[in-house]
């Protein structure tokens, strides 16, 4: 009987959102982790992995900076007067 009551209860979930600064910090941490790695002594697979991390991190940073820039300097507001 108690098992039936437990099954009838709805599951509660926690939704955690990642903020833009957290994305930027994570990408910077990834860049710092691979900084100074000598790809000349790595296998081809590891070299491609380092290049992929660098490319993806830079793209994350660029996207987040663009998002922040558009949020701060929104040109579509009606606050500016064109007179």
Residue 78 lies in a domain: no
In 1-83, which residue ranges form alpha helices assigned H by DSSP?
2-8, 20-34, 44-72
Note the pLDDT tens digit of each residue in 24-75. 999 999 999 999 999 899 999 999 999 999 999 999 999 999 999 999 998 7
- The answer to whether the pTM exceeds 0.95 is no
- Return d(Cα 19, Cα 26) in angstroms, integer: 11
- For residue 65, tell me if it sits in a domain: yes
Residue range(s) defining the domain that contains residue 54: 18-72
Q: What is the pLDDT of residue 83?
A: 47
Q: Does the residue 57 lie in any domain?
A: yes
41 located within any domain:
yes
Residue 75 is classified by DSSP as: T
Q: Does the residue 80 lie in any domain?
A: no
* Confidence check: pLDDT of 76 > 80: no
Number of separate domains in the chain? 1
- Asked if 60 contacts 27 with a C-beta cutoff of 8 angstroms, the reply is yes
**Local confidence band at 12 (pLDDT 50, 70, 90 cut-offs):** confident
Q: Is position 45 within any domain?
A: yes
């Amino acid at each position: 009987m108690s098992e039936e009551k437990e099954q009838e209860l709805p599951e509660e979930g926690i939704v955690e959102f990642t903020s833009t600064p957290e994305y930027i910090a994570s990408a910077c941490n990834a860049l710092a982790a691979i900084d100074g790695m000598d790809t000349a002594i790595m296998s081809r697979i590891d070299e491609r992995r380092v290049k992929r991390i660098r490319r993806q991190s830079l793209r994350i940073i660029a996207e987040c900076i663009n998002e922040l820039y558009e949020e701060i300097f929104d040109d579509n507001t009606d606050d500016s007067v064109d007179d």
